[in-house]
Amino acid sequence: MWVYSALPAAQVAIALAAGRILFGSKARRLGRESFDRSLVRQILFIRLDVVGDFVLNTPLLRELRRGFPSAKITAVVDKVVLNLCETCPYVDEVIPFDCNVPRFLRPVLWPWRAYQFPRRGLSAKRFDLAILPRREADRGFGTFMAYFSGASWRVGFASQATRYKRRVNNRFDQLLTHVITEDPLDKHEVEHNLAVLRALGVTAADDRTELWVTSGDESYADQVFRRCGVEESVPVFGICPSPGNSALKQWPISSYAELGTELIRRYGGRIVIFGGPGEEHLGRPIEERLAGNAINLIGKTTLRQMAAVLKRCHLFIGNDAGPLHMAAAMGVPVIGIYGSSCHHRYGPWKNQAVVSRELPCGPCGQGDAYDRCWACVFEVPRCLTELGVAQVLAKAREVAWEKRPQNGSGMVPHISQAGLQTVRNLY
């Protein structure tokens, strides 16, 4: 096990040596400890996570702008979430970063990219403050990027924050000037993110998540429902079978198909299936089961277009993945299906519902545990395979309709086949 700690320690030592060569006489400025908010003119915000984590970061971006109204904020994000971040009104510039690296090359390529990236333009911006709000392990080497950006103050969470981070980010603290240590585990990720503001002497006035869509995105949503013959009075249920970044988060596809069938039988309306590119195979069995009552948008939308369609849903049900947090940010009633990830830490934020079958092996309430299970102790994830449709439907009754809306004939109207074909051909 010592090898896992020795490797990051060696990486840090090399980074510090490179920094002394690169910055020379500026090394003292890079290590300045006294923080003065009045001197902050340029802010570098680094968050190299995927969709759900970015959504949970939106309160921090908004309150960071409130705390530093005159500063120029540059956000570096994974290129996957560029479409969501580029319309953010709280940042002045968004720079995408390619985090896609073969697993066996990550120990070399990630720190090298983190060195090269700021040297190609970021360091010339003369950042006063670099922020790394990720509390969990820094898998993308954002800490190295902050160091090589030349920012005077670099603020992030301690590498002792979790057991896993202690192993994979050993001594990363040496690249920071201000380390956040006092932040209990039993908080939601949004609260952890906002702890960065407190370290900067800023008090958050609003902790809601949000997203920003354009008129073009809204027009896309209008087009989808209009061409499929969905009237405004018809209830729309959104579902997302995507497992996000772990197959252990996936409720069975057959359960989603059964859930969709029961929602239509009890309440009428339409089912919209959400997901990203490469997940098309997850939606086909559900679409076939629901026949003409499903609108399958998996892989057919940009993230902002997805957000605009989500906004029209009366209820959203999904795994712990990006669309779940997007729906919550768009103000949609949400039911999250959780098993191998901690819903106390990563549940949909604010006034939402969670369905979970708590097992002793689950990550919730385990103290200094990972944010999710990395492997299952059973042949299949029982926390999800044994979670019944009836439990989800019971939760849906609490947050959705108690009576089934009907048209004049008392039958549930179907989407036209022409409308379905139109949606399939949109992209």
Domain at 215-424: CATH code: 3.40.50.2000
Q: Give residue 189's Cα distance to chain centre.
A: 10
Which single residue is written with the structure tokens 């449709």?
389
pLDDT tens string 89-144:
999 999 999 887 777 777 788 788 888 887 777 777 889 999 999 988 888 899 99
In angstroms, the Cα distances linking 228 to 232, 284, 295 are 12, 18, 8
Hey, what amino acid is at 308?
A
Reading the block at residue 27, the tokens are 């090394």
Q: How far apart are CA 293 and CA 145, in angstroms?
A: 48
Average pLDDT over residues 249-274: 94
Residue 100's SS3 state is coil
The superfamily (CATH) of domain 2-199 is: Glycogen Phosphorylase B; (3.40.50.2000)
The pair phi, psi for residue 413, each rounded to 5°, is: -70, 150
* Contact present, 175 and 150 (Cβ < 8 Å): no
What pLDDT, on a 0 to 100 scale, did the predictor assign at position 357?
A: 83
- State yes or no: pLDDT of 418 exceeds 50: no
SS3 assignment for 180-240: ECCCCCCCCHHHHHHHHHHHCCCCCCCCCCCCCCCHHHHHHHHHHHHHCCCCCCCCEEEEE
pLDDT tens string 36-90:
899 999 999 999 988 999 999 999 999 999 999 999 999 999 999 999 999 999 9
Average pLDDT over residues 405-420: 38
Long-range Cβ contact pairs of 85-93 (< 8 A, separation 24 or more): 85/54, 87/212, 87/213, 87/214, 87/304, 88/58, 88/61, 88/212, 89/212, 90/61, 90/62, 90/64, 90/65, 91/45, 91/61, 91/65
The lowest-confidence range among 203-212, 276-285, 341-350, 351-360 is 351-360
Confidence of residue 345 (pLDDT cuts 50, 70, 90): confident
- State yes or no: pLDDT of 187 exceeds 80: yes
* Contact present, 193 and 57 (Cβ < 8 Å): yes
Mean pLDDT, the chain, rounded, equals 85
The secondary structure element, H or E, covering residue 420 is helix 417-424
* Backbone CA torsion sign across 286, 288, 294, 298: positive
What pLDDT, on a 0 to 100 scale, did the predictor assign at position 86?
A: 95
Task: Tell which wins on pLDDT, 238 or 136.
Answer: 238
What pLDDT, on a 0 to 100 scale, did the predictor assign at position 167?
A: 86
Predicted TM-score (pTM) of this structure: 0.89
Average pLDDT over residues 172-198: 86
What pLDDT, on a 0 to 100 scale, did the predictor assign at position 51?
A: 95
Looking at the DSSP bridge assignments, the partners of residue 47 are: 77
Residues of the chain within CATH 3.40.50.2000 domain(s) are 2-199, 215-424
Q: How far apart are CA 56 and CA 321, in angstroms?
A: 12
Q: Give residue 353's Cα distance to chain centre.
A: 18
Reading the block at residue 52, the tokens are 């759900």
